[in-house]
Amino acid sequence: MGTLSVNQNKLQKRLRRQAGEAIADFNMIEDGDKVMVCLSGGKDSYTMLDVLLYLQKVAPIRFELVAVNMDQKQPGFPEHVLPAYLESIGVPYHIVEKDTYSVVKEKIPEGKTTCSLCSRLRRGTLYTFADEIGATKMALGHHRDDILETFFLNMFHGGTLKAMPPKLRADDGRNVVIRPLAYCNEADIEAYAKLKEFPIIPCNLCGSQENLQRKVVKEMLQEWERKTPGRTEIMFRALQNVVPSQLADRNLFDFASLKIDDSAAPRFLDVMNL
């Protein structure tokens, strides 16, 4: 790659710092962890692996990294690309072969979005494999923009205030998912992937679906950011500053028990007795 320019060096340092802060804030990686890095072949997971390899060298704790890619048997998938890359940088890896492509094509009518089913099938397979190899953490490459997009998708289409947490324990308790890039923005990751010349593998299954709701939300957020720079950062900060008493979820706050506090000091002074 050669010598980095000043701006390129700042970009690399920023991504490493933000990932390190997210890992520390949420205690994502602990001493002795075996971290399964889920590598899709996209810019996000490549960047995550690159950053984790650096942090592994400088962190005050010891942890193991193993890359795992799931070959979903998509037609034309370049099977040689990821193994060649991982061998070139000396990272241990596994390729998990599972024909989810055929299942998705069979179950989803032509023209309908495939992401939801594809994601569930992939997640289930990777959860099981993580358990098989004794991984204590599963690292996914979702970034700050992914988290915000998911928040708005759930609000607009699911009626819930829910996003992607930086750290999550699976419902059965067998897996802990971490997202080290939670504080990183997509533009930086895209620039870094180009800088590092990662061998990107496009997703041919769903990449051509232009009408995905996520794409609509992404464009909405990008437009907001263009009109008001910094708004994305403010919105993400809001996810970390939740005030249950100012919302309307009765499971999070006991609204039914609210009443006047008879012991509270009077709001007005008795002027006549001054």
Known binding-site residue numbers for [4Fe-4S] cluster: 115, 118, 206
Are 121 and 114 in contact by the 8 Å Cβ rule? The answer is no
| Residue ranges at the known binding site | 115, 118, 206
Residue 217: name the closest of 158, 263, 134 by CA.
Answer: 158
Beta bridge partners of 93: 67
CA distance 232 to 248: 24
Distance CA 122, CA 202 (A): 16
Cα–Cα dist 209/213, whole Å: 10
Half-sphere exposure of 173 (CA within 13 A, CB side): 0
What does R_g of the chain's alpha carbons equal in angstroms? 23
Do 82 and 93 form a contact (C-beta atoms < 8 A)?
yes
- Residue 132 φ then ψ, to 5°: -65, -40
Q: What are phi and psi of 122, to 5 degrees?
A: -65, -45
What token pair was written down for 268? 């007005």
